[in-house]
Homo-oligomer: A and B are copies of this chain.
C-alpha cells in the first residue's frame, strides 16, 4: 500500500537559528530525500505538525490504518525514518511488529491515532 510520510519542515527543534540558516526540519526532509525514498512511500513536507517542543517530527499515515507521530528527530535519523516508513508500508495492516520497528519509533512515539472511521454516509 502507498503510505504518506509527512515531515515538518518548519521545525526549529528548539534552536535559535541565524538568518538564512536551514531549519532542522528542512534538513531532516532533505536528508530523507538524499537517502532515497522507497517505492510505496510518499514523502510530503508539511508546515508544522504541532509537536514543536518535541521536534523534529514526522507522521506516517494511510487510509484505513493507524497514524503515527514520532519526535525528537534530526537529520541523523533519516535512514531510520525511511526504514520505519518502509516497514509501515509493507505491513499488510500497517501494524509493524514491535521488534521490527527502528529504535527511534519504539522510543520516540509522540502519539498514534486509530484509523479514521468511515461515516455511514460516505460508505453508501
Contacts and interface: CB of A to CB of B under 8 A. Distances in A.
Nearest to A67: B113
Mostly helix, strand, loop or mixed at chain A's interface? Answer: mixed
Interface residues of A, number: 33
B2 A113 contact: no
A111 B110 contact: yes
A6 to B, nearest CB: 6
Interface of A: 1-2, 4, 6, 42, 44, 46, 48-51, 54, 57, 59, 61-63, 67-69, 71, 109-114, 116-119, 121-122
Given A4-B116, A50-B110, A63-B119, 18 more contacts: A1-B119, A42-B117, A44-B114, A50-B109, A51-B109, A51-B111, A54-B110, A59-B111, A61-B113, A61-B114, A62-B119, A63-B116, A63-B117, A63-B118, A67-B116, A69-B110, A69-B113, A113-B113
